[in-house]
């Protein structure tokens, strides 16, 4: 050993000897952190440099066990370095804290796993079978209607050719002399008769009536504004008829509604 080097005994645990560790070491010039490589053996001399000084560390493995027998004992824990003339630092306190932390972490992990297992059990208890049944209904009938004095009424029943569009009809050039009627609300009942057809047809005399009236033939179950696409009712359950109502001014449409209807009494198709 050269005159600029000093040998310091350093006691480490078997785990630290097996996996390596970086430890604070007290030197005459102050505390420094030195790295102990993995795989050192009891009594081995490790060379390290602290600033411009070479430090020789005489490794002492606690319990006299070598690095090879410590490989299966888990990750390293805190160790202390001994300096000549100074008492060695005890590692029992730090080891005790680490043991407590390890127990707490283990308890938390067990709790999380248990909760996760409970959640999984809850998820897997759900039935894969649907809880409701579905009975198909006949294809809905579609109709289109424009109020007086500018009537353009068409009816349509959906069929195989769902891409067919509602035909256009000429409108009178005279402007209405009264205000446009309000659109029908859900639950409104209508009279008249809509043809059972798979193509759009013009219809007349379809008006709002009381649902208790003897000529109440249809009831509105859904309404779509600003459209004349009768197929909007395809996605509305229970629809039996689709009815288009168009408002015009000077022959030009100013608003349109599509109503999804069900039949009442003998007009029901379900």
Q: Read off the pLDDT of residues 95-113 as tens digits, 9 standing for 90 and up.
A: 444 444 454 455 556 555 5
The pLDDT, as a whole number, for residue 5 is 64
* Residue 169 within any structural domain of the chain: yes
The pLDDT, as a whole number, for residue 205 is 85
The pLDDT, as a whole number, for residue 44 is 93
Bridge partners, residue 21, by sequence: 36
Quick one: 76 and 147 in the same domain?
A: no
The pLDDT, as a whole number, for residue 7 is 84
Distance CA 67, CA 130 (A): 62
* Residue 263 within any structural domain of the chain: yes
Could you tell me the CATH number of the domain that includes residue 63? 2.60.260.20
The pLDDT, as a whole number, for residue 143 is 67
- 270, two tokens: 């379900």
The pLDDT, as a whole number, for residue 254 is 85
* Residue 135 within any structural domain of the chain: no
* Residue 80 within any structural domain of the chain: yes
Quick one: 78 and 185 in the same domain?
A: no
Quick one: 81 and 145 in the same domain?
A: no
* Residue 227 within any structural domain of the chain: yes
Quick one: 62 and 160 in the same domain?
A: no
Quick one: 157 and 79 in the same domain?
A: no
Q: Spell out the SS3 assignment of 138-185.
A: CCCEEEEECCCCCCCCEEEECCCCCCCCCCCCCCCCCCCCCCCCCCCC
Q: Given 69, 85, 101, which residue is the final one in a domain?
A: 85
- 199, two tokens: 């193509």
| Residues lower than pLDDT 70 in the chain | 1-6, 64-181, 198
* Residue 109 within any structural domain of the chain: no
DSSP 201: B
Distance CA 168, CA 130 (A): 44
Residues in the chain: 270
The pLDDT, as a whole number, for residue 217 is 95
The pLDDT, as a whole number, for residue 100 is 45
* Residue 79 within any structural domain of the chain: yes
Q: 103-139 burial by CB neighbour count: b if 16+ within 10 A, else e?
A: eeeeeeeeeeeeeeeeeeeeeeeeeeeeeeeeeeeeb
The pLDDT, as a whole number, for residue 199 is 72
Distance CA 95, CA 79 (A): 9
Quick one: 149 and 254 in the same domain?
A: yes
- Full-model pTM: 0.38
Domain count, the chain: 2
Quick one: 156 and 231 in the same domain?
A: yes
47: Cα within 13 Å, side-chain hemisphere: 7
Peptide bond into 149 cis (omega under 30): yes
Quick one: 154 and 79 in the same domain?
A: no
Domain range enclosing 11 = 6-85
Quick one: 151 and 254 in the same domain?
A: yes
154: Cα within 13 Å, side-chain hemisphere: 21
Distance CA 46, CA 174 (A): 108
Q: Given 47, 66, 85, which residue is the final one in a domain?
A: 85
In this structure, the number of other CB atoms found within 10 A of the CB of residue 228 comes to 19
Quick one: 145 and 67 in the same domain?
A: no
Distance CA 246, CA 264 (A): 24
Cβ–Cβ under 8 Å, residues 44 and 24: no
* Residue 108 within any structural domain of the chain: no
Quick one: 66 and 153 in the same domain?
A: no
DSSP 70: G
């Amino acid at each position: 050993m050269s005159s600029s080097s000093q040998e310091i005994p350093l006691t480490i645990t078997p785990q630290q000897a097996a996996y390596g560790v970086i430890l604070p070491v007290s030197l005459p010039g102050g505390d420094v952190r030195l790295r102990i490589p993995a795989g050192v053996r009891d009594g081995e001399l490790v060379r390290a440099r602290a600033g411009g000084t070479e430090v020789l560390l005489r490794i002492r493995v606690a319990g006299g066990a070598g690095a090879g027998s410590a490989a299966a004992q888990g990750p390293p824990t805190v160790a202390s370095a001994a300096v000549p003339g100074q008492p060695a630092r005890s590692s029992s306190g730090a080891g005790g804290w680490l043991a407590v932390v390890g127990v707490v972490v283990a308890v938390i992990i067990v709790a999380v796993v248990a909760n996760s297992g409970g959640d999984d059990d809850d998820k897997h208890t759900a039935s894969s079978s649907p809880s409701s049944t579905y009975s198909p209904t006949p294809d809905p009938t579609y109709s289109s209607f424009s109020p007086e004095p500018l009537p353009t009424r068409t009816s349509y029943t959906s069929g195989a050719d769902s891409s067919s569009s509602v035909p256009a009809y000429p409108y009178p050039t005279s402007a209405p002399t009264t205000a446009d009627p309000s659109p029908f609300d859900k639950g409104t009942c209508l009279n008249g008769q809509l043809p059972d057809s798979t193509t759009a047809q013009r219809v007349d005399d379809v008006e709002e009536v009381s649902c208790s009236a003897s000529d109440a033939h249809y009831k509105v179950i859904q309404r779509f504004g600003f459209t004349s696409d009768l197929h909007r009712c395809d996605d509305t359950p229970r629809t039996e008829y689709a009815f288009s109502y168009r408002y015009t001014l000077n022959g030009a449409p100013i608003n349109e509604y599509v109503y999804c209807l069900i039949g009442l009494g003998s007009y029901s198709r379900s």
